[in-house]
Amino acid sequence: MHSTCGHISIRDVTKVFDGHKGHPAIHALGPVSLDIARGEFFSVVGPSGCGKSTLLEVLSGLGKATAGTIEIDGTPVAGAVPDGIGAVFQQDASFFWLNVWDNVAFGLRRLGMESAEVAHRVDNALAFMGLGGFAKAYPAQLSGGMRQRVCIARTLVLEPRVLLLDEPFGALDQQTRLLMGDELLRLWRETGATVILITHALDEAAMLSDRVGVMSARPGRFIDVVTTDWPATRDSRVVSDGRFGSITSRLWATLREESLRAIGTS
């Protein structure tokens, strides 16, 4: 499962939500400009309501930018979901009416793939995500962390070139989060996809990413981009590296002011 694509170019992207019936228009995002390299692991942190999720919406094509351009591998993204995008959200998106196996196979079946190939891919993905024994279980019988793994596995089998994660571990407890972070890194290395992770946890962003973008309070713009220079083979043990502390301090120093501003304006 390797991808050699996933270069993202964001130019002066702005998103304004129209006002209606007496409510003013909301300038949620931008202008934002950013280049994300192929196979890069990029995190976005920022105060609540700053537009992080809006950025993902626009990147994925679920929403349309009011101004500016987005290109993935040279092809513009404008209000329609391009090929090769995977997304995992904070809320549980596992299909509760299907068992784990059918959940993961769902996307492949829609593509009309033949069942032997589907079985092969699904079994691999389940093994990769540690879901091997749970193929026949239903999401309602699994813990929150397991359900997120199902969602990740379901995205994984489709071999996305860009993987968008909107606070995927937000609903999980701290220990599970750290373990899932390691899994995510394993996945990233295995697939070579470009990963964009939105998180409010600075340590998570600092530990997992190649670069971390700090977003200002609404309307969100990038006010700092920190490069971590971690090796590609990293795992959660980078927390003991000397530079980890300085990275998180820098992130917090920038973020603290913006958070105060966000509370003041919201």
CB 228 within 8 A of CB 211: yes
Smallest separation (angstroms) from another protein to the CB of 89: 4
115 vs 141, beta carbon nearer another protein:
141
Smallest separation (angstroms) from another protein to the CB of 99: 9
111 vs 116, beta carbon nearer another protein:
111
Smallest separation (angstroms) from another protein to the CB of 138: 5
The set of residues, in sequence order, having a beta carbon less than 8 Å from that of 101 and lying 6+ positions away, is 122, 126, 135, 136
Relative to beta strand 85-88, strand 162-166 is parallel
Smallest separation (angstroms) from another protein to the CB of 58: 13
Pick the closest to residue 50 from 66, 65, 32 (CA basis).
Answer: 32
Pick the closest to residue 195 from 232, 244, 246, 145 (CA basis).
Answer: 232
50 vs 56, beta carbon nearer another protein:
56
Cα–Cα distance, 163 to 179 (Å, whole number): 19
CB 10 within 8 A of CB 34: yes
Smallest separation (angstroms) from another protein to the CB of 222: 24
- Footprint of another protein (CB under 8 A): 60, 62, 81, 83, 85-87, 89-93, 95-98, 106-107, 110, 138-141, 151, 158
102 vs 182, beta carbon nearer another protein:
102
Report phi then psi at 160, rounded to 5.
-70, 150
